[in-house]
Amino acid sequence: MQHKLLRSVFFCGVLGLFLASCTKKIDDAYQNPNAPVRVPVQTLLPGIIGGFTAYNSAAGTNFGLQIDDILLGRYIQYWGSTTAGENYGEMGGTIGSDNTGGIWGAVYFGHGQNVNRMIEWGTEEQRWDYVGVAQAVRAWGWLELTNQYGDAILKEAFRTDQSQFKYDTQPEFYDSCRAVAFRALANLSRTDGNLDPSGLADADAFFNKGDLNKWKKFVYGILARSYIDLSSKNIFQQEHYADSAIKYANLAMTTNADNILASFSAANTSNGFNSYFGPTRSNIGTIRQGAYIANLMSGVNTGTFTGVQDPRRWYILSENLNKTFKGVTPWLGVTEFPGTNNADYPKNFWRNPTPNLTTGTNDSTRYVYSNQGPWPIMTASEMQFIIAEAQYHNGNKTAALAAYSNAISLNFDMLTTTYEKNIPAGRSIDAATKLAYLSNPAVITPVAANLTLSQIMLQKYIALYGWGTHQTWIDMRKYHYVDIDPSTGNQVYTDFVTPPTSPINYLISTNNGKLVYRCRPRFNSEYLYNIPELTRIGAINNDYNTYECWFSKP
């Protein structure tokens, strides 16, 4: 009996070990998808980096800056559709679409819990470099998000036990962005713990390549933006926001070697390996450069840089068969270029020699429209424009002119060092060409007192063309598209015409005659379950996209 009992106990013990072993194998093979599975923090970073430009989910959904750029670029007339009368050319959008939800998806989904885990696990493992990088990404996301959508989810973001979330105000996002940015700077400066320079460099291969100094400059650039974005507010000087913008811009990128660039391997034809704006992914074949940028760089603008042929146009724009530069008016499409063989019709961004075609090859592509990029996220030129605008508002036109001149020079140099590809013979910018442009008094006045706000903002408009759509839209909303430059009596954005309402109303009817100032929260999350909160903030109203954001209000 005793032996039988022992045998029974032994059998049960063996069975227990067997079942435990089986359970462990099953758990290892089929991990709970609803629970956070621990992975090395460095494996999270490549996907997070992808969220800046065009993050691809397993469901095939795209999120990121580039996704929304295609639509938002119409509002600032960087480009327009070849189709006349499309909603976004008319500054409109309707409930029921995920259009302009790219940043919402990037911040809450593409970055979202991945950034949270990198901060949490990196802290536990004392990997302060990864923690600082993750916090830098989060600070960037909060600022981009609130400037595009206004009110959004902050305090209750990422809570997995909720299906509805309260929205927070834009000032709270600005405060949180800066608080997270300062935490990022602290962690990026730490030398203790378990730093991993080589591992970070590998994981960060398509962004800052593990260079912590560049990550810190990126954070300083975020802070600079967070202050210059408020330049139209009455408190800009009172609260010394101008001084803060200058301070942090000076700590950010100062040379083109500091530029924050996202690149792509283009290793194969898979979407994830190529830029969203490249010919392989074929997403921008039906848009063409806007008439506003083409006229501005061809000397046709009647208020600013009149008569000046900008040599950079051969780098960032597409000429037509007449070897001139024309563009579309977003709400008119290509109706301005009747006929299939119209020689004024601008070629597409991939430089197809047949202008009305929507395809191209990477071999003929210029500027940021290639499969590999690089795609600027923030540049030294932009930082100098921030300083110029802030100094202008401070009343220090001498300092403003110096920064303005340096900004243009840096942009020229970025083009010739990074994008010297497929430029037509005789059109490359050399030292003499650059000097001639910078010496033109219509571009850079020799008298600081004559510098205008229009010159600063329109040169910035050019320097950010193509890649800086979100920031340019912030700038144009700050000046309400058609605000007056007090030093000239003309619009800040001279010759800029918003969609007319008479004799034909080119504004989408649901706008009620108003221009667009924000995007709606992403439909396939908020409008499916968060209706009470959307109702509270007015987001179920047809004209919610015309509600002005806090950052641009006096």
Residue 36: the pLDDT is 60
Residue 60's pLDDT band, with cuts at 50, 70 and 90, is low
* Beta strand ranges found along 282-387 (DSSP E): 287-289, 375-378
Residue 272: the pLDDT is 73
Q: Whole-angstrom Cα distance, residue 106 to residue 64? A: 5
Q: Domain of residue 388: give its range.
A: 37-554
In the predicted structure, residue 5 carries a pLDDT above the cut 80: no
Q: Which of 238, 490, 279 is nearest to 372 (CA)?
A: 279
What integer best gives the mean pLDDT of the chain?
91
CB 232 within 8 A of CB 478: yes
Whether 167 is covered by a domain: the verdict is yes
Q: Percent of the chain at pLDDT above 70? A: 92
Q: Percent of the chain at pLDDT above 90? A: 82
Q: Whole-angstrom Cα distance, residue 400 to residue 408? A: 12
Mind listing the pLDDT tens digit for each residue in 388-415?
Answer: 999 999 999 999 999 999 999 999 999 9
In the predicted structure, residue 297 carries a pLDDT above the cut 60: yes
Residue 10: the pLDDT is 32
Residue 353: the pLDDT is 84
Residue 522: the pLDDT is 94
Highest average pLDDT, of 61-75, 452-466, 501-515, comes from 452-466
Residue 94: the pLDDT is 76
Strand pairing category for 79-81 and 287-289: antiparallel
Strand pairing category for 62-63 and 79-81: unpaired
Mind listing the pLDDT tens digit for each residue in 213-241?
Answer: 999 999 999 999 999 999 999 999 889 99
Supply 232's token pair: 């139209």
Residue 84: the pLDDT is 82
Whether 417 is covered by a domain: the verdict is yes
Sequence-distant (6+) residues with CB within 8 A of 105 are 55, 61, 62, 63, 64, 98, 522
Mind listing the pLDDT tens digit for each residue in 532-548?
Answer: 999 999 999 999 999 99
In the predicted structure, residue 469 carries a pLDDT above the cut 60: yes
Whether 155 is covered by a domain: the verdict is yes
Tell me how many domains the chain contains: 1
* Mean pLDDT on 30-43: 70
Lowest mean pLDDT of 246-260, 263-277, 502-516, name the range: 263-277
CB 308 within 8 A of CB 402: no
Whether 14 is covered by a domain: the verdict is no
Residue 2: the pLDDT is 35
CB 487 within 8 A of CB 453: yes
Whether 17 is covered by a domain: the verdict is no
Whether 494 is covered by a domain: the verdict is yes
Residue 34: the pLDDT is 44
Residue 339: the pLDDT is 75
CB 542 within 8 A of CB 508: no
Whether 440 is covered by a domain: the verdict is yes
Q: Which CATH number covers residue 392?
A: 1.25.40.390
Q: Whole-angstrom Cα distance, residue 50 to residue 106? A: 9
Residue 356's pLDDT band, with cuts at 50, 70 and 90, is confident
Q: Select the more confidently predicted residue: 34 or 186.
A: 186
Whether 11 is covered by a domain: the verdict is no
Residue 11's pLDDT band, with cuts at 50, 70 and 90, is very low
Q: What is the pTM of this model?
A: 0.93
Lowest mean pLDDT of 32-46, 305-319, 354-368, 533-547, name the range: 32-46
